């Protein structure tokens, strides 16, 4: 009669021990993976990086630039791009054909690579 109680208490002890071990592992893992607190130097460094990213984004939105000169891709200022899009889509049929033509040009397969001349076999 005492045997089932021993098995029950052993099972309860094993489950409790397992939960305690997992909790300890989680606690230790959390302590080692927690990032260091932000110091004044780190805050200034992050603000500098944020300012650089914002300047690059502003430059990308407000200035012209070549994206791929060989394909004729140009980055337009966002206001000009919106005006151009609105102007193009006033005539939907022409806009669709223009879009399809640009997509075909952009995603065209590259030209085949010419074969290298065959070298004579020195062992013949």
Domain of residue 69 covers 61-106
Q: How many CA atoms lie within 13 A of 95 on its CB side?
A: 9
The CA angle 41-44-47, to the nearest 5 degrees, is 150
Question: Is the residue at 85 inside a domain?
Answer: yes
Question: Is the residue at 93 inside a domain?
Answer: yes
Q: How many domains does the chain have?
A: 1
pLDDT of residue 2: 59
Tokens at 36, concatenated: 């260091």
Question: Is the residue at 75 inside a domain?
Answer: yes
Question: Is the residue at 99 inside a domain?
Answer: yes
Question: Is the residue at 67 inside a domain?
Answer: yes
Backbone angles phi, psi at 75, to 5 degrees: -90, 125
Per-residue pLDDT of the chain (124 residues; tens, 9 = 90+): 456 677 888 899 999 999 999 999 999 999 988 887 778 888 899 999 999 999 999 998 899 998 888 877 888 898 998 998 888 888 888 888 888 888 888 888 888 877 777 777 777 6
Question: Is the residue at 51 inside a domain?
Answer: no
Question: Is the residue at 120 inside a domain?
Answer: no
State the Rg of the chain over Cα: 33
Give the chain's end-to-end CA distance (angstroms, integer): 93
């Amino acid at each position: 009669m005492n045997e089932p109680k021993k098995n029950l208490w052993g099972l309860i002890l094993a489950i409790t021990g397992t939960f305690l071990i997992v909790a300890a592992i989680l606690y230790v893992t959390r302590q080692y993976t927690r990032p260091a607190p932000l110091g004044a130097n780190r805050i200034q460094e992050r603000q500098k990086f944020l300012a650089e990213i914002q300047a690059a984004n502003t430059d990308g939105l407000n200035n012209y630039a070549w994206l791929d000169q060989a394909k004729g891709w140009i980055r337009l200022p966002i206001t000009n791009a919106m005006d151009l899009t609105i102007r193009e889509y006033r005539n939907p049929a022409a806009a669709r054909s223009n879009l399809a033509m640009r997509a075909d040009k952009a995603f065209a397969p590259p030209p085949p690579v010419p074969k290298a001349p065959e070298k004579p076999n020195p062992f013949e």
